[in-house]
Amino acid sequence: MPNHDHTPRLEHWVHLSLLAGLILSGGLLILGLCVALLTGQPRPKAPPPPFREVLAAAVAGDGAALIYVGLLVLIGTPILRVAVLAVGWGMVGNRRFMTVSLVVLALLVISLYLGVG
């Protein structure tokens, strides 16, 4: 039997995960835009390089790479939300919703792999 006493706590963790993703991605997007504008970096004409190269360029202060990482964080935020829901529902004993969220999470990961790979 699911324990409904933990629902506000789960809602709080979901809220925090979405807020953290939004703040982090927004900060990276703004920082990347500022760096690109201040350094006069031209807009990239090719698709983004592989993730490791983007991450290394972002750490080195490349504006376009910071924007790419910000977009990736923004894309990953809903995936984090589903993972938080799966863990939360598992902790409160709601197996039905946990199973549904794990299936959705698996579908998201598979689609991400197929889309990138």
pLDDT for 65-98, tens place per residue? 999 999 999 999 999 999 999 999 999 889 999 9
What pTM does this model have?
A: 0.81
Domain range summary for the chain, segments of one domain joined by +: 4-116
Residues 63, 67, 70, 75: what is their CA dihedral angle, to the nearest 10 degrees? -160
Helical segments of 1-117, H only? 7-39, 51-59, 63-92, 95-116
